[in-house]
Amino acid sequence: MTDDNRGSANTPQDDVPPREPQVSGETAGSGGLAGIGFAAPDAPGTMTDQPVDQLLVPAAQPASPATYGTEQPPRPGFVPHDQPPQEPRGGWPPPPDPRMHQQPAPQGWRQPPPFQTPPPGGFGGPPPNWASVPAPPNRPRQGPGFGMLAVMAVIVALVAGAAGAGAMVLTGNGGSSSGANRSVNLGGGSSSGVGIKSRPAGTVAGIAQRVLPSVVTIKVSLGNGNGGTGSGFLVNGGYIVTNNHVVAGVSGGGSSINVVYNDQKSSSTTATVVGADPNTDVAVIKPGSTFGLPALTLGNSDDLAVGDQVIAFGAPLGLSGSVTSGIVSALNRPVQTSSDTGGDGATLNAIQTDAAINPGNSGGPLVDGQGRVIGIDSAIATLGAGSGLGQQSQSGNIGLGFAIPINQAKRVAETIISTGKAPKQTKIGIIIDTQYQGNGVRIAAQGPNGASSITKGGSADQAGLKAGDVITGFNGLAVRNSSDLIAEIRSHAPGDKVKLTYQRNGKESTVNVTLGQ
């Protein structure tokens, strides 16, 4: 019997799935959020290294230029042609009667159009009397006098001097009077060098400069035309830690793993799988070369607090070397991922973050504000039909990403490197009653074929737990359902001592339990 063996009082089973439905992008999630599920961001069979030009949204087409009408000059208001002539203003003698002296219209002009009726109220005054302006009287032409010549000479001298000064001003900058050729400086800084600029160590940019060289893109080919892209990171010993679902299915027969380093030199090498654990979604691969790149420093995920800054690295949608930042949104979040390989998926006691995680980020490091790895990007929430959010499905980033705590991943990876095998599952030796609908997890009345629902000599038996007990707490954390309990158990190693809170006959008690395997 195992810690996640679940059965019914009527139909005992050895390995019954949790009473919460397995969540995926198309089913309800374990947290009671209809339409929200959890899924590995990427897995073999779904190519994520698409061409960049298929991933970018085309820019909007520029709007058609506005069409403007040709501005028409204002049309003068004319008086009726049959209005009797009036005394013109300005002292000129009255014009001759046009009926007696028909003069041709001046060349280049056209006759004015008929006068239009003025608007109510008139034009603000008496309308002008339109008439031809008489030519001034003829005068005999005379040459300019001496005084006039002297004045003109002075004016010419002054104009010439001003023109010369203006020419000097215009040609003083570059020797050209053309504004298009003048040198213009709009200000602003200039680059002081070429290459990566130094940034303070505690900033996102400073952390990215230190971490990115040790983050890799993992390209998997399964030999049948299928494959996928994920991420990973270097650890001590020249190994790379990633997700199990990134390399699942790689087992010869034309399958291959190609590791691409983020050194801007296209350094790449092949790799082999050292070992993997589907239950925790952790895998270790060995690259042909690390090109002298350093291993990342591992942190302590137990020291995290909600609100701490975190930074995610990886190759979302095949875009290597991507960096996103956010905070720790929640801790100890039970997440049961779906599996694309026919298994039960993994049950994670995950770190929840709003740092953008997308397909291709899987296996990449989640680091803290000091650049230490505190998690492995592993799962994202998906919106399915019935979510009430107006979408059929969405598998990209929606601000709900999940990472495996590094303390758990480190224990699994060390076991894989040491033995080449995944560690045995941690157990407490009970079968869960899947028919129970209340708060907590009830131990089934009996196991398969009428056997006991509690493993004799197991952790629960030694702690004095009995059939029908309802477990409601694990190390001070509330246990609401089977996913909570399984996630907590699997986040610990065999031999760890924990406190279980349970109810029996309406009375609550707490007991120390040493976890088994």
Inter-residue contact 269 to 289 (CB < 8 Å): yes
Residue 111 has pLDDT above 50, yes or no: no
- Tell me the C-alpha distance between 394 and 414, whole Å: 35
DSSP readout, 342-358? SS---EEEEEEE-S---
Tell me which residue range forms the domain holding 429. 5-21+424-514
- Tell me the C-alpha distance between 491 and 489, whole Å: 5
Tell me the CA distances in angstroms from 363 to 43, 167, 404, 492, one per residue in order: 11, 71, 9, 21
pLDDT higher for 114 or 305? 305
Q: Are residues 398 and 445 in the same domain?
A: no
Amino acid at 262: N
- Tell me the C-alpha distance between 459 and 427, whole Å: 8
Q: Are residues 412 and 438 in the same domain?
A: no
Q: Are residues 393 and 458 in the same domain?
A: no
Is residue 294 in some structural domain?
yes
- Tell me the C-alpha distance between 445 and 464, whole Å: 15
Is residue 337 in some structural domain?
yes
Most confident of 46-50, 114-118, 143-147, 500-504: 500-504
Q: Are residues 414 and 429 in the same domain?
A: no
Is residue 26 in some structural domain?
no
Specify the pLDDT at position 395.
66
Strand boundaries in 222-281, DSSP class E: 227-235, 239-242, 256-261, 268-277
Inter-residue contact 1 to 14 (CB < 8 Å): yes
Strands 431-433 and 5-7: parallel
Q: Which residue has the tokens 């954390």?
A: 477
pLDDT higher for 231 or 134? 231
Contact partners, residue 502, CB within 8 Å, separation at least 6 = 440, 465, 469, 470, 471, 472, 473, 508, 509, 510, 511
Among 391, 407, 423, the domain-final residue is 423
Give the number of domains in the chain: 2
- Tell me the C-alpha distance between 350 and 373, whole Å: 14
- Residue range 482-504, pLDDT digits in tens: 989 999 998 898 999 999 999 99
For 276-282, what is the mean pLDDT? 93
Partnered with residue 408 across adjacent β-strands are none
Most confident of 39-53, 136-150, 326-340, 425-439: 425-439
Inter-residue contact 18 to 482 (CB < 8 Å): yes
Which band of pLDDT confidence, cut at 50, 70 and 90, is reported for residue 222? Answer: confident
For 269-281, what is the mean pLDDT? 93
DSSP readout, 437-503? -SSSEEBPS--GGG--SB-TTSHHHHHT--TT-EEEEETTEE--SHHHHHHHHHTS-TT-EEEEEEE
Average pLDDT, the chain: 74
Q: Which residue has the tokens 């691969």?
A: 285
Is residue 506 in some structural domain?
yes
Of 248, 225, 233, nearest to 287 by C-alpha is 233
Q: Are residues 282 and 233 in the same domain?
A: yes
Is residue 376 in some structural domain?
yes
Inter-residue contact 408 to 331 (CB < 8 Å): no
Q: Which two tokens stand for residue 361?
A: 């980020």
Contact partners, residue 114, CB within 8 Å, separation at least 6 = 78, 81
Q: What is the CATH number of the domain that holds 471?
A: 2.30.42.10
Q: Are residues 406 and 497 in the same domain?
A: no
Considering only 149-158, 198-207, 364-373, 474-483, which range has the smallest mean pLDDT?
Answer: 149-158
Considering only 142-146, 174-178, 357-361, 491-495, which range has the smallest mean pLDDT?
Answer: 174-178
Catalytic residue ranges: 245, 281, 362
The reply to whether the predicted model has a pTM over 0.95 is no
Q: Are residues 373 and 495 in the same domain?
A: no
Residue 299 has pLDDT above 70, yes or no: yes
Q: Are residues 369 and 440 in the same domain?
A: no
Among 392, 423, 454, the domain-final residue is 423
Residue 389 has pLDDT above 80, yes or no: no
Strands 441-442 and 401-405: unpaired
Is residue 226 in some structural domain?
yes
Specify the pLDDT at position 467.
92
Of 312, 392, 391, nearest to 358 by C-alpha is 312
Inter-residue contact 317 to 303 (CB < 8 Å): no
Most confident of 33-37, 93-97, 238-242, 444-448: 238-242
- Tell me the C-alpha distance between 380 and 262, whole Å: 24
Specify the pLDDT at position 73.
47
Which band of pLDDT confidence, cut at 50, 70 and 90, is reported for residue 225? Answer: confident
Q: What is the CATH number of the domain that holds 302?
A: 2.40.10.120
pLDDT higher for 252 or 89? 252
Q: Are residues 417 and 499 in the same domain?
A: no
Mapping DSSP onto H, E and C, the string for 280-346 reads: CCEEEEEECCCCCCCCCCECCHHHCCCCCEEEEEECHHHCCCEEEEEEEEEEEEEEECCCCCCCCCC
Q: Are residues 352 and 327 in the same domain?
A: yes
Which band of pLDDT confidence, cut at 50, 70 and 90, is reported for residue 347? Answer: confident
Contact partners, residue 2, CB within 8 Å, separation at least 6 = 15, 425, 427, 429
Is residue 76 in some structural domain?
no
In the chain, pLDDT over 70 holds for what percent of residues? 59
Of 428, 499, 493, 495, nearest to 459 by C-alpha is 428
Amino acid at 152: M
Strands 309-314 and 365-367: antiparallel
Among 423, 444, 476, the domain-final residue is 423
Q: Are residues 481 and 418 in the same domain?
A: no
Q: Are residues 269 and 349 in the same domain?
A: yes
Is residue 352 in some structural domain?
yes
DSSP readout, 367-407? E-TTS-EEEEEEEEEEE-TTSSSS-S-B-S-SS-EEEEEHH
